[in-house]
Chain A
């Protein structure tokens, strides 16, 4: 399992009610189900990934987070997880608002466009950065709204979104990934 998932799993509490938005093939959900809380479900857009979740015996709702989060009532989950998907939404601001509405806490991870490798790539090669966390070319990337850790912090500050970072060590220059616990 990806190291990122262990780090996210550490942030959720025992037997809490969790929604994994864009849960992919269910790897993180399975780990959390087996080790931390059985009260977890996911939303996933891709049919093949939905089938993989089903095969793992996970509760999955096939759907599109941009449209389908609005059906959940306010504060209906203890944690809502969004792993490296925010940048791919058409309207990430709306998705973030929904995450903070339906979750008491939102755990959001973003690929950091401010990482030194990314900066170096653009500086030296003069082409759009392609790295482990950003493996696509400019013409086929699903990432519409790339940002840096600093951008994201500024965004939250402007909107009075509380960033709870006590378990996390991340830096705009040295972290490939930013993982945040957010509260409204």
Chain B
């Protein structure tokens, strides 16, 4: 697509057999890098983005003109210090920031793939991104890091490539998507599909956009990223630019206005079909499936040093699910640290200025990096 012509991407020639059975090749993988790769190529970190993230993790996103999604954590002198480390971030396949996704043109039909795009899994995303190691000639990553769906990719990466990352920091994630989370994703998908403009996924060729459905999906999801206490503290029952209730269905309350705003800005930057495909990938994620329900077996061959982080108020990927990963690693004597950070900012804590969290990442990386110097 034209708006992506100036962003960095590789065309992956090597065929990738997807979990759904289809094989793709010569597909674009859009990426961004931060910092400099050192002489012996030992300071590379790969970060993985969450559901609505992209490769522009730090600085200003050149497409949306908004701040990168991980500005608090990533940059010079920050927790993931780009003065020290070389950071690679890419857009997942199925996404909408330049990597192979449902809005790409199908060469056979000369029309956007829409819902003819193959169903993607977390495993597929990670296998596609692995090609960047070859591209940058990196033998072993210093670390793989990600939160939420990014954390799932971290787990999948270590499982698929057990000796390709020295350290791993999965944050606020799970090894197996819960029924509650599948339910919430389904709510979002049904909202998009209920929008008349969705047109069974072929809205682009009809110059339509299912904005209303996508906005509602985002509003619902946004609530799940916050916590009850956080919402109450920030909004309470405060009214939006009015002195009293209007006895109508306008946005009387600040929280309503806030959610409507979140929905409206989201549709400008995100593709509805990508939302369907990526949420599906999350729902299909169950790292234990291949190993007869035994998560430990997913990491048996790995020599990666883990640090797992959860947040007290995260009810979407609660501490218990993060702790299950810790337990699985301890059960096979792997090196793992674990911290539950106190925060009332909910699941979104990993994207925000939560000093204990940012310090934890920083100290773990610094110490691990010193050990290889």
Q: Using CB atoms and an 8 Å cutoff, list the residues of chain A in contact with chain B.
A: 38, 41, 47, 50-51, 54-63, 71-73, 76
With A71-B327, A72-B330 as contacts: A59 and B337 at CB distance below 8 Å? yes
Contact A55 B337 (CB under 8 A): no
Interface residues of B (CB under 8 A from A): 305, 307, 323, 326-327, 330-333, 335-340, 342, 356, 359-360, 363-364, 366-367, 370-371
Q: In chain B, what residue has the closest Cβ to A69?
A: B330
Contacts of A56 in B (CB 8 A): 363
Q: Which partner residue on chain A sits nearest B365 by CB separation?
A: A57
- Given the known inter-chain contacts A57-B366, A62-B340, A71-B327, please indicate yes or no for A51 contacting B333, CB distance below 8 A: no
Contact present for A47 and B340 (CB under 8 Å): yes
A122 to B323, CA, bound (A): 45
B373 to chain A, nearest CB (A): 13
Q: Given contacts A41-B337, A54-B359, A61-B336, are A73 and B331 in contact (CB under 8 A)?
A: yes
CA distance A62 to B370 in the complex (A): 23
Closest to A44 in B: B339
Jot down 8 A-B pairs with beta carbons below 8 A, ordered by A: A59-B335, A60-B338, A61-B336, A61-B337, A71-B330, A72-B330, A72-B331, A73-B331
A71 touches B338 (CB 8 A): no
Contacts of B326 in A (CB 8 A): 61, 63, 71
Q: Quick check: A54 and B335 within 8 Å, CB to CB?
A: no
Query: Across the interface, which residues of A come within 8 angstroms of B305, CB to CB?
Result: 59
Q: Give the distance in Å from the alpha carbon of A5 to the alpha carbon of B326 in the complex.
A: 28
List of 8 A-B pairs having minimum Cβ-Cβ separation, nearest first:
A57-B367, A71-B327, A71-B330, A59-B337, A61-B338, A76-B333, A54-B360, A54-B363
Q: Is the CB of A60 within 8 A of B363?
A: no
Chain B nearest Cβ from A48, distance in angstroms: 10
- A51-B359, A73-B333 as given contacts; A60 in contact with B339, CB under 8 Å: yes
A62 contacts B338, C-beta separation under 8 Å: yes
**Inter-subunit contact A54/B339 (CB<8 Å):** yes
CB distance from B350 to the nearest CB of A (A): 16
Question: B339 to chain A: which residues have CB within 8 Å?
Answer: 50-51, 54, 60, 62
Would A55 and B338 be within 8 Å (CB), given that A72-B331, A73-B332 are in contact? Answer: no
Cα distance, A58 to B333, chains bound together (Å): 17
Instruction: Closest B residue to A33 by CB, please name it.
Output: B367
Determine how close the nearest CB of chain B comes to the CB of A103; give it in whole angstroms.
13
Q: How far is the CB of A6 from chain B (nearest CB, A)?
A: 24
A60 touches B340 (CB 8 A): no
> CA A58 – CA B371 in complex, angstroms?
12
CA distance A38 to B335 in the complex (A): 12
Q: Which residues of B contact A57 (CB under 8 A)?
A: 363-364, 366-367, 370
**Chain A residues positioned under 8 Å from B332 (CB to CB):** 73
Q: Is the CB of B356 within 8 A of A51?
A: yes
Q: A60 to B333, alpha carbons, bound, how many Å?
A: 14
| A176 to B325 alpha-carbon distance, docked (Å) | 41
What's the least CB distance linking A59 to chain B, in Å?
5
| B204 → A minimal CB distance (Å) | 47
B215 to chain A, nearest CB (A): 38
Q: How far is the CB of A20 from chain B (nearest CB, A)?
A: 13
Q: Please measure, in the bound complex, the distance between the C-alpha atom of A73 and the C-alpha atom of B332, giving whole angstroms.
A: 7
B338 and A63 contact, CB distance less than 8 A:
yes
Q: Residues of B contacting A55 with CB < 8 Å? A: 359, 363
CB-nearest residue of chain B to A77: B333
Which of A57, A62, A73, A76 has the most chain B CB within a 10 Å cutoff?
A: A62
16 more contacts with CB within 8 A, not counting A51-B339, A54-B337, A73-B331, are A47-B342, A51-B356, A54-B360, A54-B364, A55-B359, A57-B363, A57-B367, A57-B370, A59-B307, A60-B339, A62-B339, A63-B326, A63-B338, A71-B326, A71-B327, A73-B333
> In the complex, what residues of A have CB within 8 A of residue B342's CB?
47
Complex Cα distance, B130 from A51, in Å, reads 33
A84 CA / B332 CA spacing, docked (Å): 28
Contacts of B338 in A (CB 8 A): 60-63
Contacts of B340 in A (CB 8 A): 47, 62
